[in-house]
A = this chain, B = another copy of it.
Amino acid sequence: MILSANTRKEVHAVTERQLEIVLAVVYEFIRTGEPAGSRTISKKYMRGNSPATIRNEMADLEEMRYLYQAHTSSGRLPTSKAYRLYVDSIMQRRRSVPLEAEAWMHEIRNRREGIESLLTQVTQLLGKATNCIGVAALSALEEVTIQRVSFMRLGGDMVLLIVVLEGGLVHHTNIRLPGDLSQDVLDELARRISTVASGHPWSEVRRTLSAYIFEGLERIRDVCRSAVAEIDSQLNRKNTRLFVGGAQHILSLPDFQDVNKFQAVLSILEQEQPLADMVDRYSIADGVSVTIGDEISEQEMKDCSLLLMPSGLGRKAILGLIGPIRMDYERSITMLELLAEGLGDSFDR
């Protein structure tokens, strides 16, 4: 039994040497953009083994779907499976911090112009630093401390709802409150909600906002209820606010010389929903998540990798990168970690 389990495992697992070859092929391909042949791998990375040996291993690795060939007589190219091994190996070992990093961090830390413009700037910085597209999202605003809520009459049933959150983050939308209320009533409503909510995240006070705080407003009980419901639905949705920047840089890369590839990505970026979903689906509670090529369910992203990392505002501000599968993961991951950390510092002051 044990033996059979072992043998079965051997079929799927790669040997030490095979791993070495896979990593070398990925590394070489990321560096040069050209398929790597057995000769190259032998010469540059594995002097101990002849090209013929490498070739034999490569044939096996192709069968196991770690590598593939563009055509019969071309070198080997890595599949997502190979990239996965490569990224996992990077994540495990210690990475060096690029020298320019200090300058970037400085730029961020000395920002005072508000969360929105800071996030925009960070995405642009990320893009420039990595030749990828910088992304930022504010997720789960219900977990962020509320400072104040206010309503403003727009006419008819329409009311402008403004929620000011921790650190001066402003969220506003037009909502519908039945009954054409006067500004005075709206102010009173806002005052009461603010009193209870201020200093707490919405998720905490949501239940507290029951009937008793609206004492004396029984006449408009329905309005109070739908006001609370509206705030709820506003803060509840995931990744309400999205920021994208530095997209220009990706166009310098050879991988995106084909306009169609970029168009596919752009079509995702220009709609809110798919991007928000992706950020939500692939980000993890802590640390950098890397999703590679067809691991992303969106067809349009099949030529891209997505890196995400939760950052400031109690991990509710998520920072990310979208770049070619053949990106410099080492640098990208390090940069993302650094800037996410810097952003956290900047928020928490």
Taking beta carbons and an 8 Å cutoff, which residues of A are in contact with B?
Answer: 112-114, 117, 124, 147-148, 150, 152, 154, 158, 160, 162, 164, 167-168, 170, 172-174, 176, 245-248, 251-252, 256-257, 259-260, 262-263, 266-267, 270
- Chain B residue with the shortest CB-CB distance to A124: B270
CB <8 Å contact, B172 and A170: yes
CB <8 Å contact, B164 and A160: yes
Given A160-B164, A162-B170, are A270 and B251 also a contact pair (CB < 8 Å)? no
Complex CA distance for A114 and B174, rounded to whole angstroms: 5
Complex CA distance for A107 and B270, rounded to whole angstroms: 18
CB <8 Å contact, A154 and B167: yes
CB <8 Å contact, B252 and A263: yes
CB <8 Å contact, A152 and B173: no
Q: Could you tell me the dominant secondary structure of chain A's interface residues?
A: mixed
CB <8 Å contact, B248 and A114: no
Complex CA distance for A164 and B246, rounded to whole angstroms: 30
The 6 closest A-B pairs by CB, nearest first: A160-B168, A251-B263, A114-B174, A248-B266, A248-B267, A170-B172
CB <8 Å contact, A246 and B270: yes
CB <8 Å contact, A174 and B248: no
Given A114-B173, A160-B114, A160-B170, are A259 and B251 also a contact pair (CB < 8 Å)? yes
Complex CA distance for A117 and B171, rounded to whole angstroms: 13
- Chain B residue with the shortest CB-CB distance to A176: B112
CB <8 Å contact, A113 and B248: no
**Which residues of chain B come closer than 8 Å to A260, judged between CB atoms?**
251
| Shortest distance from the beta carbon of A203 to any chain B beta carbon, whole Å | 22
Complex CA distance for A245 and B270, rounded to whole angstroms: 7
**Which residues of chain B come closer than 8 Å to A148, judged between CB atoms?**
152
**Which residues of chain B come closer than 8 Å to A267, judged between CB atoms?**
248
CB <8 Å contact, B248 and A270: yes
Given A248-B263, A270-B124, are A152 and B168 also a contact pair (CB < 8 Å)? yes
Most B CB contacts (10 A, CB to CB) among A168, A257, A267 go to: A168
**Which residues of chain B come closer than 8 Å to A168, judged between CB atoms?**
152, 154, 158, 160, 174
- Chain B residue with the shortest CB-CB distance to A264: B248
Complex CA distance for A250 and B134, rounded to whole angstroms: 22
